[in-house]
Amino acid sequence: MKPTIPSLCAVLARKTTFQNLLNITLSVFAVAVASGADQTREPSQMENEFTSLEEARAVETKLHPLSCILARSVVRLSGTGADKEHDQGSGVVIDPSGLILTHGHHDLPKEATLTVSFPNGNVVEAVIESVFSGRGRDFSLLKIKQRGRYPAVQLRREGSPAVGERCFHLGYPGTLLDVTKNLPPLLRLGRIAGSGRTSTYANCSIMSGDSGGPLFDFEGRLIGILDLSIGPELRHPGVWADIARILDGTTFLSEADSDEAVRLGFTNGKRKGVDTQRHIASNLWPELLASARRATVEVLIDGELAVLGTIIDPNGLVLTKRSEIMTHSGGVLGKLTCRLFDGREALASSVFDSQADDVAVLQLPIRGLTSAPWRPQTQFLRGKIVVVPIPGKEACETGAISADWMVKIESLPGEVELPVEMRAQGVTLTDAVRDLDNDFTKLIRGTLKAGDVITHVDEEATPDLAAYEKQTRSGSFVVGEFLRLTVLRDSVSTQVSVPIDSRVTERSYVDHSLRLTGFPSVIIHDTIVGRRQCGGPMVDLDGTVVGVNIARFGRTSTFAIPPQRIQSWVREINLASTSPEVPLKYIREGSQLRSSTSPEVPLKYTREGSQLRSN
């Protein structure tokens, strides 16, 4: 007779009731779901993530209400007492009595206690009843101590889902928890990539903190809980412990198949099917995206692509990401030009910038441009499908909004980290500058050498170490911004722009933004947007712009600025340019509005709440 794990299986195998609201939702909405016949066979190529606008709308129509209901059962786990801030990943309630299924690599024994936080703010404690740890059998069962009825999800009890079938993950990415408060479980849309002996593979974007989070099918049933990602690249799928295999009571007692990922083709670099690609659409919806494409520009520094920009007013105003074109104090990093949709290139000058929001508004000497077709919204729905056009190509990236409300991203403070000492000539770089990380030195605009004397930081003199440290360790610096150093070498003075904090080179498996924190209010979505694609528009399925991408955060999330905020800046700028004697409400401390007649001369401004007038 085969060994079993009756204590766990008996609990999981019980029939769980699901909310009537979910049953009503599923009976009203329908969606086309892709399928595949053989789980281990190479899936066929799919040209597009969506085959039609109707299919995308059907997915959106079902995904929003379904994910909102299921999100109520997805919990954040953390330690207790002195370890309460220690993140222990995500979990999901699988029975109304308070049973929670999560991962097993929390390094805690049976009967240990964890803090459980629900999305509605309810916080309870749970005790660990069973633990199975190790790849292919990584799960544990928790029981909430406080008696009551809790929102629970339905289990997918039959066989594993087919390759290509749509699915979505809900969880709490750990690094985001470090810079946000009251973060809801974030949705990541994907497809089933394959099936192993004990696990289901899917291409939903995940990272540390998502472990233990649930993977759902489009019937609202739990497919599995997250174990890990099989590799460092975006093409590498995640691995979810399959609930159907847990329920059979025997599979998880067998040895894990260490070669499974290779056998399925995920780690040999040869698998190029839809399962390992993320939401690409080629030559799809050209009419839908036409206006947004024309409103997208490439922002160049000294002729090289720095970032994208979005035309926010037909009179030549372009919004872009400030930290990619300016220093912390507002100095432009080089010759600033913009390349339009039709290939024309024009000089640009900064007329407004906000260090607090990491935005800059540029003025082009061209009128009658196609501006972004805005749709002001007061609510952003989890599961709403969004599209990001890729300049110069017919392709676009697609994704979904991850949360039902806008989120404040706290700043990650930083400082300049260079090896210096005080010598007779002044603050001098030591020989240790040669040992700086190569990825870090690639970001420096200019060159630094041992023996260089740093005479100024952002135009402020640094005659000694005290002055240098004051200028390079300001509490207002955010990781990923740049400082401009004035360097004396062989009696010749040059300027070099240096990134704040060496952590900007920690790539987290993806080409994330250098500055990726410090935003008062952003929309979070899962569309893959690289560092140089920030500044471009995010478009809904009606072809209207519902945000401008401002940062890529790690492997899982992209941040976008909502239209209301952008349009308020446009009104401020237009008012200043037409009526310089009319006082303007200052947006927030750290913003600068520049004179339209002399772009390099900032208008006088004081602290938040004051009024602002033209010089």
In a 3-state reduction of DSSP, which class is residue 168?
strand
Q: Are strands 317-321 and 304-313 parallel, antiparallel or unpaired?
A: antiparallel
Residues 575 and 599 both lie in one domain: yes
**C-beta pairs of 570-578 under 8 Å, 24+ apart in sequence:** 570/312, 570/313, 570/317, 570/361, 572/352, 573/313, 573/317, 573/351, 573/352, 573/361, 574/313, 576/603, 576/612, 576/614
Residues 358 and 210 both lie in one domain: no
Cβ neighbour number for residue 48 with a 10 Å cutoff: 19
Spell out where 196-230 has E strands: 199-202, 214-217, 221-229
Q: In Å, how far are 233, 236, 421, 431, 503 from 205, measured between CA atoms?
A: 10, 9, 44, 42, 22
Asked which of 453, 469, 500 is the last residue of a domain, the reply is: 500
Let me know if residue 415 belongs to a domain.
no
Residues 319 and 379 both lie in one domain: yes
Q: What is the CATH number of the domain that holds 489?
A: 2.30.42.10
Residues 147 and 124 both lie in one domain: yes
Gap between the Cα atoms of 56 and 52, Å rounded: 7
DSSP 321: E
Gap between the Cα atoms of 565 and 411, Å rounded: 19
Strand ordering across the sheet containing 359-363: 345-347, 336-339, 296-301, 304-313, 317-321, 359-363, 349-354, 591-593
Number of structural domains (the chain) is: 3
CA-nearest of 199, 205, 196, 212 to 105 is: 212
pLDDT of res. 45: 44
In a 3-state reduction of DSSP, which class is residue 303?
coil
Q: Treating both helix axes as pointing N-terminal to C-terminal, what angle do 20-28 and 53-71 enclose, rounded to 10 degrees?
A: 180
Cβ contact 97:149 at 8 Å = yes
Residues 494 and 536 both lie in one domain: no
Let me know if residue 414 belongs to a domain.
no
Cβ contact 298:339 at 8 Å = yes
Cβ neighbour number for residue 45 with a 10 Å cutoff: 9
Let me know if residue 594 belongs to a domain.
yes
Residues 440 and 392 both lie in one domain: no
Let me know if residue 398 belongs to a domain.
yes
* CA-CA-CA-CA torsion sign (187, 190, 195, 201): negative
Let me know if residue 382 belongs to a domain.
yes
Gap between the Cα atoms of 325 and 300, Å rounded: 8
List, for residues 485-510, the tens digit of each pLDDT value: 999 999 999 999 999 987 776 655 56
Chain Cα centroid distance, residue 144: 31
Residues 202 and 295 both lie in one domain: no
Let me know if residue 309 belongs to a domain.
yes
Residues 201 and 246 both lie in one domain: yes
Contacts of 107 (CB under 8 A, 6+ apart): none
Let me know if residue 96 belongs to a domain.
yes
List, for residues 197-207, the tens digit of each pLDDT value: 788 889 898 88
Token pair of 68, please?
A: 């909102």
Residues 316 and 437 both lie in one domain: no
Q: What is the CATH number of the domain that holds 195?
A: 2.40.10.120
Residues 293 and 222 both lie in one domain: no
Q: What is the pTM of this model?
A: 0.85
Quote the domain boundaries for residue 172: 6-44+51-278
Asked which of 500, 524, 556 is the last residue of a domain, the reply is: 500
Token pair of 289, please?
A: 């995206």
Residues 367 and 264 both lie in one domain: no
Gap between the Cα atoms of 615 and 603, Å rounded: 6
Asked which of 476, 500, 524 is the last residue of a domain, the reply is: 500
DSSP string, 440-472: HHHH-BS---TT-EEEEETTEE--SHHHHHHHH
Residues in the chain where the model's pLDDT stays below 50: 1-7, 13-46, 253, 271-277, 582-590, 594-615
H or E stretch at 89: strand 87-95
CA-nearest of 596, 571, 565, 597 to 584 is: 571
CA-nearest of 170, 241, 174 to 209 is: 174
List, for residues 359-375, the tens digit of each pLDDT value: 999 999 999 999 999 87
Gap between the Cα atoms of 30 and 312, Å rounded: 37
Residues 402 and 320 both lie in one domain: yes
Q: Which residues of 281-298 are buried (b: 16+ CB within 10 A; e: fewer)?
A: beebbeebbebbbbbbbb
Contacts of 595 (CB under 8 A, 6+ apart): 601, 602, 603, 614, 615
Let me know if residue 508 belongs to a domain.
no
Gap between the Cα atoms of 560 and 546, Å rounded: 9
